[in-house]
Amino acid sequence: MRPTIRTLGSAVFAGATALAVACSTGVAGAEPADSGSSSGSALVSTASDTVGVGPEMSAFLAAFGYGLTHPDAAPPGANDWNCKPSAEHPRPVVLVHGTWLNTYDSFSFLSPQVARAGFCVFAFNFGRETPLGGGGFGAVLPGRYGVGPMEDSARQLSQFVDRVLAATGAPAVDVIAHSQGGPVTSQYMKFEGGQGKVGKVITLGATTHGTSLLGFASLGRFITNLGLDILGFYQPLIGQANTEQVVGSEFYAKLNAGGDTVPGVAYTAIGTTHDEISNPYDWTFLTPGPDATVENITLQQDCPEDVSDHLTIMYSPRAASIVLHALDPAAHPDLVCTFNPWMIGGSGHL
């Protein structure tokens, strides 16, 4: 159990719901406004294959700029559909990006390193939606994906993993997920047929238990569950995936009701103390359930000079070394420690 997270989630979701019902003046058993689930919603996002391959980048801002003009580029090293897993690395690696990002933005630094380590790597863009369709302001800019309902995105991940397994002949995949990619992967494994198809899950800054956004999002969820639909008001701006990621949402109540993990999976959860999006940062960590292993790693442990934030953790040499160690500890026994700038992200350089 994670009592801090579960207690806050219960207070925000169940507690506020009970208070709203108690204070309701009209209908007995009145339900609070809900802005956290797309079940039965008309909002249906889409996924897409990548087009072409972008260059390897060492800084997030440079990758973001390239992603604006090449929104569907694959990160280097990914999507060789003729790649066959080796005996040393029998599971291909699937990359799952975050909110208002694309697979190139998130993985142009990490993907080629994983490929050079001998893994077959695959990536796609999910959660594509128009602003009027529910994607919010983020969908206005080119390549700002991961904005559709997370339930839809998990189904899209399911379809993509099945394609990877069919193409490679592998029995299962490993997943590297950033930000929203964490709960999308968990939703896939728990509810969309992914159990047994994933060997390892490595997350970076995953919004595994939601986010408080320094408390602002928690307040918005609390007020929404009292009956004043503040999150619903902002949803046309921020998109449905973002309102689902606010702590205490119905999405998380269902996702984590049975625990953080699924049997048979080895998890590595990487967090940074400088994360301004997935915070408090330790909400990204997991508690192992039956037949699952978890390693929770704070990026600054033994390396305070790495000041990576939510986005630049994807361009941190230390984070990359942790990922490679999790995938193949024998071949990558040592962790790197070097300066990585906040917000800019330069692979150890300004």
Q: From its phi and psi, is residue 29 left (phi > 0), alpha (psi between -120 and 50) or beta?
A: left
Distance between CA 334 and CA 224 in Å, rounded? 47
Distance between CA 134 and CA 75 in Å, rounded? 27
111 residue type, one letter: S
- Name residues whose C-beta falls within 8 Å of residue 166's C-beta, 6 or more positions apart in sequence: none
Distance between CA 148 and CA 133 in Å, rounded? 9
Q: Give the pLDDT score at 247.
A: 80
For residue 9, what is the enclosing H or E element? Answer: helix 3-10
**pTM value surpassing 0.75:** yes
Domain ranges of the chain: 3-298
Name the stretches of the chain with pLDDT < 50. Answer: 1-42, 214-236, 350
User: Where are the strands (E) in 255-325, listed by range?
Assistant: 266-271, 293-298
**Thinking of the domain 3-298, which architecture would CATH place it in?**
3-Layer(aba) Sandwich (3.40)
Helix, strand, coil percentages (3-state) for the chain, rounded to 5, are 40, 15, 50
pLDDT digits (tens, 9 = 90+) for 122-178: 999 999 988 877 777 777 788 889 989 999 999 999 999 999 999 999 999 999 999
Distance between CA 120 and CA 98 in Å, rounded? 21
Q: Say if residues 11 and 20 touch (Cβ distance below 8 Å).
A: no
List the one residue out of 262, 248, 282, 268 whose CA is nearest residue 186.
262
- Tokens representing 107 are 């993985």
